[in-house]
């Protein structure tokens, strides 16, 4: 009797033990299912890792878009895509085009050059650092690179590096009238009249106690204003506005939806275009929407045009041409 009782008790103990182990395994599996997608999304967001187009420029009667796997495509006004016969192992991050040349750049100092938009050749950029953006103004082409490095060219083929005193990586550059302006991932706004000597301002330090701390992503200057986009520390979208780059104001990212209800923008802007016809900036967002910033601060609009993240955008002939993740192209009239 005693032995039977002991055996029964032992079986119950083992059963409870295995039940406890199984329960813990189930809990771990459920947590893995819930949190893995979130973690992957956060990692991808922080590292900027995605596959797709990163930049687009207008080249004569069509467009040229570049992507994360070294892809270069020609895109027509009807969104037809023709691959350019050029391949390499570098991620392409930016592109520039004028009437004479197309220049594409990317990681590890990669730079590619074309005079016809069809045949591209590799050229020396003067650095092995990542190149993030290219602009032009006052007869110069200018590229922003890591560790505060600026690259300058007169013809798009021969580049000369200049080291600024910036603490951060120069993520975006633009030109306005008689000066150049850029931003870094250290919260700096850099400005120069000759592209060699740069004035550097720490935005977060200068505006501490007045504006929220911002992490910059993109800058674009028009003849009337300059816009910087990025995020605040809480992950919400940040939009800064200035006339000449001396004083910066936070632009409220609010709009009225189709039911005329006032809403705050939740998506993060990734690209900026300028609509000269309406004197407004157009932001391409990571939720597939476009957000317009007219001179009227209460007249912002938001329109969903895609189901994928938009990384770059152009405004041409009353339409936006946007490209993004998954190598998708969207052409939409405004």
Q: Report yes or no on 7 lying in a domain.
A: yes
* Residues contacting 49, CB < 8 A, separation 6+: 43
Q: Report yes or no on 94 lying in a domain.
A: no
Whether 284 contacts 273, CB under 8 Å: yes
Phi, psi dihedral angles at 277 (to 5 degrees): -60, -45
Q: What percentage of the chain carries pLDDT values higher than 90? A: 80
Judged by DSSP in three states, 26 sits in helix
Using alpha carbons, list the distances in angstroms from residue 182 to 26, 171, 294.
51, 8, 22
Using alpha carbons, list the distances in angstroms from residue 254 to 88, 119, 230, 238.
42, 44, 15, 12
Q: What is the pLDDT of residue 104?
A: 97
**C-alpha radius of gyration, the chain, whole number:** 25
Q: What is the pLDDT of residue 23?
A: 60
Whether 195 contacts 152, CB under 8 Å: yes
Q: What is the pLDDT of residue 177?
A: 86
Q: Report yes or no on 12 lying in a domain.
A: yes
Q: Report yes or no on 117 lying in a domain.
A: no
Q: What is the CATH number of the domain that holds 301?
A: 2.40.10
Whether 162 contacts 150, CB under 8 Å: yes
DSSP assignment string, 69-87: TS-EEEE-TT--EEE-S--
- CA 232, CA 310: separation in Å to the nearest integer? 20
Q: Report yes or no on 327 lying in a domain.
A: yes
Count how many domains the chain has. 2
Residues in the chain where the model's pLDDT stays below 50: 1-9, 13, 31-48
* In the block, residue with structure tokens 């110069």: 140
Q: Report yes or no on 296 lying in a domain.
A: yes
Select from 89, 61, 90, 86 the least CA-distant residue to 72.
Answer: 86
For residue 53, what are the β-bridge partners? 67
For 236-283, the pLDDT digits (tens) are 999 999 999 999 999 999 999 989 999 999 999 999 999 999 999 999
- CA 185, CA 187: separation in Å to the nearest integer? 5
Q: Report yes or no on 295 lying in a domain.
A: yes
Sign for the pseudo-dihedral over CA of 195, 196, 197, 198: positive
Q: Which domain holds residue 301?
A: 252-334
Q: Report yes or no on 113 lying in a domain.
A: no
CA angle 271/273/278 to nearest 5° reads 145
Q: What is the pLDDT of residue 24?
A: 56
For 55-81, the pLDDT digits (tens) are 999 999 999 999 999 999 999 999 999
Whether 267 contacts 291, CB under 8 Å: yes
Burial group, residue 189, by CB count within 10 angstroms (0-12, 13-18, 19+): buried
């Amino acid at each position: 009797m005693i032995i039977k009782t002991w055996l029964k008790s032992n079986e119950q103990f083992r059963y409870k033990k295995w039940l406890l182990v199984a329960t813990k395994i189930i809990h771990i599996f459920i947590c893995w299912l819930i949190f893995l997608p979130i973690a992957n999304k956060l990692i991808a967001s922080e590292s900027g890792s995605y596959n797709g187009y990163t930049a687009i420029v207008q080249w004569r009667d069509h467009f040229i878009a570049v992507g994360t796997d070294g892809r270069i495509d020609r895109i027509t006004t009807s969104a037809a895509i023709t691959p350019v016969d050029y391949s390499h192992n570098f991620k392409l991050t930016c592109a520039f085009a004028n009437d004479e040349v197309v220049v594409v750049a990317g990681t590890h100092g990669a730079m590619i050059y074309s005079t016809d938009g069809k045949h591209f050749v590799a050229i020396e950029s003067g650095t092995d650092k990542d190149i993030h953006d290219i602009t032009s103004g006052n007869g110069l082409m200018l590229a922003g690179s890591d560790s505060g490095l600026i690259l300058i060219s007169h013809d798009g083929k021969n580049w000369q590096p200049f080291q600024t005193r910036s603490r951060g990586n120069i993520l975006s550059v633009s030109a306005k009238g008689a000066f150049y302006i850029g931003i870094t991932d250290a919260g700096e706004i850099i400005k120069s009249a000759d592209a060699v000597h740069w004035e550097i301002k720490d935005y977060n330090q200068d505006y501490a106690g007045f504006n929220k701390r911002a992490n910059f992503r993109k800058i674009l200057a028009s003849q009337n204003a300059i816009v910087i986009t990025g995020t605040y520390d809480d992950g919400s979208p940040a939009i800064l506005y200035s006339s000449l780059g001396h004083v910066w104001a936070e632009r409220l990212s609010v709009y009225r939806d189709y039911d005329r209800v006032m809403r705050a923008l939740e998506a993060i802007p990734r690209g900026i275009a300028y609509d000269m016809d309406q004197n407004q900036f157009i932001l391409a967002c990571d939720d597939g929407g476009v957000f317009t910033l007219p001179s009227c601060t209460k007249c912002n609009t938001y329109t969903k045009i895609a189901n994928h993240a938009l990384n770059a955008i152009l405004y041409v002939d009353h339409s936006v041409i946007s490209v993004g993740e998954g190598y998708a192209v969207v052409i939409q009239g405004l």
